[in-house]
Chain A
Amino acid sequence: MSEQPWLLEMKDIVKNFPGVQALKGAELRVGTGEIHALMGENGAGKSTLMKCLIGIHPQTAGDIYFEGKLIENYSTAEALKMGISMIHQELNPVENRPIMENIWLGREPKNALGLVDHKKMYEMSKDVLEIIDLKEDPRTEMRHLTVAKMQMIEIAKAISYNAKLIIMDEPTSALTNREVEQLFGIMRKLKENGKSIIYISHKLDEVFAVTDRVTVLRDGAYIGTENTSDLTVDKMINMMVGRNITDMFPKVECPIGDVKLEVKNLSGEKHFKDISFNVCKGEILGVAGLVGAGRTEVIEAIFGIRNKKGGEIWIDGELANINSSEDAINHGMALLTEDRRMNGIFPMLSVLQNISISNMKKYVGNFKLINHKEMKEDCNRYIDALSVRTPSINQRIENLSGGNQQKVLVARWLLTEPEILFLDEPTRGIDVGAKAEIHKLITNLAGQGKTIVMISSELPEVMGMSDRIMVMFEGKVTGILENRKDLTQEEIMRYATGAVDGKTA
């Protein structure tokens, strides 16, 4: 038997979800004592691949070898025992309990009576915290720690499980530069001790700073693995985005009118700072950037549902004071939210109620009673116009497909006859056919002279639909680009990863 050089080998991994193929033959090989970057655009399949690895979703096809042995049908608990730990992007600490109880949660050391042995737990916790150089008392409650330290605790936990492979999913998204340096220090130390790390990040400079090799995924497929030292920024971006824009985007040129909305030096409480831009009638402004760049937060602040710390919003040349969604709607604004389930639909309510909720004041008639007839007529008209597929307007919206739910939400806002539409990831999680329909709808709205601000993490969508593209990175605008014919995805990615920061118009 030849010696197996890889600690982890994932071969030809396929993962099907109902209606979507999330992974189409992904590969990943990680050696012992290696820091390995896993790269790709949003939705490339990185998270899905990791979920297959740690046993959250078993893969549809393909094999996983760990320490040379084929592993299959295991739970996350079993993956942990084998030595595979994942540090999730969203940490879920038990905030009101001490560090040591968080580390040993579910496997607390016990004394002879079968009771928790706090003294032993304290000593054991001290030992692991020493490994990562964290000078905190293990009895400190988790909520007193910074996000960076909570992350360190997660790493300590992984060490306490004797992990051989630690997966870090965007660990630096909430860290300051100095904390990032500390994290890198610990990662290098772990590497010296023979641990391997899979490092998921969008930030190219970090990948170059700390990783040994890079594997790139795109649209669920394996693109390649390279030594980090052999790569350049351009080469890496090319591997990540190199695909063609299809005719998914029926962008029609339409006359662009006067400035409709102008945002001046808008700052939020923490997610963004000093944002300025304008949009005209009939214009589609695309907003590109990586997850966490602060795009959603900016439009939520403009729409009055997030606190503003400073800055002004001008509509039609007049200063607008918007402090609630009601104000925003009265100023002719509409917001199609990013997370349909969380703050878009009312799942158990009917299509009718979901469409009419924002426009209810129109239907209040005599004695303050609702005119249901008019409401139903409007609702049916929009269902036809947007070809929403539903058996009736009384159907609960949760029984509709994602694309149809999205159309219902679009109908909700069109019913208010808005002048300015904010669309946050308008085509996320919906199938290709419905996507093209929504793109067509957006273009038509711009053609009618509406002002559109569209956030999208899919570069082809941004480039296919927009007149101009605003790029954000870490809460700041790094560029507002004309959507020229020769604009490349690579160029946008350079702004979106902070590689270029030119506030050029």
Chain B
Amino acid sequence: MSKETIEQSAPNGNQAADKKKIAIGILKKYGIVFVLILMIIGISILSPRFLSPNNIFNVLTQSAIFGIMALGMTLIITSKGIDLSVGSVLALTGVVAASLGQSAMASTKYFPNLAEMPLIVPILAALLLGAFLGAINGGLIAYTGIPPFIATLGMMTIARGFALIYTGGSPISSLTPTFMRLGGRIGMIPIPVIIYLIATIITWILLNNTRFGKNIYAIGGNVKAAEVSGVNVKKNIIMIYAYGSMLAGLAAIVFAGRVGSVHPGAATGYELTAIAATTIGGTSHAGGIGTIWGAVVGALVLGVLRNGLTLLGVHAYWQQIVEGMIIIVAVIIDMRKNAKKK
């Protein structure tokens, strides 16, 4: 909330001026939503194909993988951290899940003697391995005091290395039909979108309605005050990174289901897309400020942008430039919103 909202509650305020201030307040708070709406309107005028249900679901499906990662990244950045390892964690958990989810007919089986596993096995393997890798990140940060940037930079390289060792450098493919179903649809709706939606709701509840969520805001807001206030900072930091990487494991499952195979070099740079989506969504790298709806809107801004520019025939190289500018502008707007009034 901004200063305007204090003044607006003064009893003798001029009504018209008050309304204007409320409007500015809403515009500031939900500015990125308006940006998204404007983008959608603009692109659909230029390319009517954009608004077809098929294409909309395309955008959502394409956004789901980095969107899921952005949910975890929101918790991490709100706690004043960063996680550069989630792309590599996706690759490592992805190849492990794929190796456990190969069909019996596969020509090159990772575990030649392994019977076809029920879908729950690769899913649990990806989630648990993800949580474990994240807990290592969190433990390093909490107990050695090294900056999150460094700890997760190390993990980024290590997890990628393990993915290469695990696979010997080649992709793992021929997944079971049930696994592949995860990339399909239920009726009209793509399953990745459903998974994204469920992950969003769970993360939203976690951040807003649990003690863990309140502690994340406190740690990011003022870690010293959190320590004094009885927050177990170390334990919470481990949980934050574990959850973030667990979501990377979930994204790996979606990835595997959609693509049908996982390459050890998969998802390179996805961590940066997740950070970008989180940042565009208004989560502050200064800590203490972050919302799940922001992470979703941020992911959609990137998804719509990529899809829209492709529909408009903009060259992929130029798309990168536009994306970069959007990130910078979003943060400039955001800093003005959160700047302390003097």
Residues of A that sit less than 8 Å from B by CB: 303, 305, 324-326, 328-329, 335, 337, 342-350, 353, 356-358, 360-361, 363-364, 368-370, 372, 391-392, 394-396, 398-399, 412, 416
B116 within 8 A of A: no
B75 → chain A closest CB, angstroms: 15
Q: List 21 A-B contacts (CB under 8 A).
A: A305-B228, A324-B232, A325-B229, A326-B232, A343-B225, A343-B228, A346-B217, A346-B218, A346-B222, A346-B225, A348-B289, A348-B338, A349-B221, A353-B218, A356-B214, A358-B229, A364-B211, A370-B211, A370-B213, A395-B1, A398-B340
Q: Is the CB of A342 within 8 A of B1?
A: no
Q: Is the CB of A357 within 8 A of B214?
A: yes
Which residue on B lies nearest to A328, using beta carbons? B230
Q: State in angstroms the CA–CA spacing of A357 and B338 once bound together.
A: 22
B9 within 8 A of A: yes
B209 within 8 A of A: yes
> Chain B residues near A398 (CB, 8 Å)?
340
Q: Is the CB of A391 within 8 A of B5?
A: yes
Which 7 A/B pairs are nearest by Cβ-Cβ distance? A346-B221, A343-B224, A329-B230, A358-B229, A391-B9, A348-B288, A369-B209
B271 → chain A closest CB, angstroms: 25
CB within 8 A of A357: which of B210, B218, B224, B284? B218
> Chain A residues near B209 (CB, 8 Å)?
369-370, 372
Q: Is the CB of B3 within 8 A of A399?
A: yes
> Chain A residues near B205 (CB, 8 Å)?
369
Q: Is the CB of B288 within 8 A of A395?
A: no
CB within 8 A of B211: which of A324, A349, A361, A392? A361
CB within 8 A of B231: which of A348, A357, A369? A357
B188 within 8 A of A: no
* Contact mask for chain B residues 266-304; partner A; CB cutoff 8 A; 1 contact, 0 none: 000000000000000000100011000000000000000
A106 → chain B closest CB, angstroms: 28
Given the known inter-chain contacts A347-B221, A353-B218, A396-B1, please indicate yes or no for A325 contacting B210, CB distance below 8 A: no
Please report the number of residue pairs spanning A and B whose Cβ atoms sit closer than 8 angstroms. 100
Which residue on B lies nearest to A395, using beta carbons? B1
Interface centre among A326, A346, A358, A395, by most chain B C-beta atoms within 10 angstroms, is A346
> Chain A residues near B231 (CB, 8 Å)?
325-326, 357
Other than the given A345-B225, A348-B284, A398-B340, 7 more pairs (CB < 8 A) read A305-B228, A346-B226, A348-B221, A349-B217, A349-B288, A368-B210, A391-B5
Residues of B that sit less than 8 Å from A by CB: 1, 3, 5-6, 9, 205, 208-211, 213-215, 217-218, 221-222, 224-232, 284, 288-289, 338, 340-341
A168 → chain B closest CB, angstroms: 30
> Chain A residues near B338 (CB, 8 Å)?
348
Given the known inter-chain contacts A391-B5, A391-B6, please indicate yes or no for A346 contacting B214, CB distance below 8 A: no
> Chain A residues near B5 (CB, 8 Å)?
391, 395
A140 → chain B closest CB, angstroms: 27
Which residue on B lies nearest to A398, using beta carbons? B340
CB within 8 A of A347: which of B3, B215, B222, B230? B222
CB within 8 A of B222: which of A343, A396, A412? A343
B99 → chain A closest CB, angstroms: 34
Q: State in angstroms the CA–CA spacing of A349 and B41 once bound together.
A: 35
A310 → chain B closest CB, angstroms: 23
Q: Is the CB of B9 within 8 A of A392?
A: yes
CB within 8 A of B214: which of A326, A345, A360? A360
Q: State in angstroms the CA–CA spacing of A356 and B288 once bound together.
A: 15
> Chain A residues near B341 (CB, 8 Å)?
399
Q: Is the CB of B9 within 8 A of A357?
A: no
Q: State in angstroms the CA–CA spacing of A186 and B226 once bound together.
A: 45
CB within 8 A of A395: which of B6, B218, B221, B284? B6
Which residue on B lies nearest to A326, using beta carbons? B230
> Chain B residues near A337 (CB, 8 Å)?
225, 228
Q: State in angstroms the CA–CA spacing of A427 and B230 once bound together.
A: 23
> Chain A residues near B225 (CB, 8 Å)?
337, 342-346
> Chain B residues near A348 (CB, 8 Å)?
221, 284, 288-289, 338
Which residue on A lies nearest to B231, using beta carbons? A357
> Chain B residues near A372 (CB, 8 Å)?
209
Interface centre among B217, B218, B228, B338, by most chain A C-beta atoms within 10 angstroms, is B228
CB within 8 A of A370: which of B210, B230, B284? B210
Which residue on B lies nearest to A303, using beta carbons? B228
B259 → chain A closest CB, angstroms: 35
Q: State in angstroms the CA–CA spacing of A305 and B5 once bound together.
A: 37
Q: Is the CB of A358 within 8 A of B1?
A: no
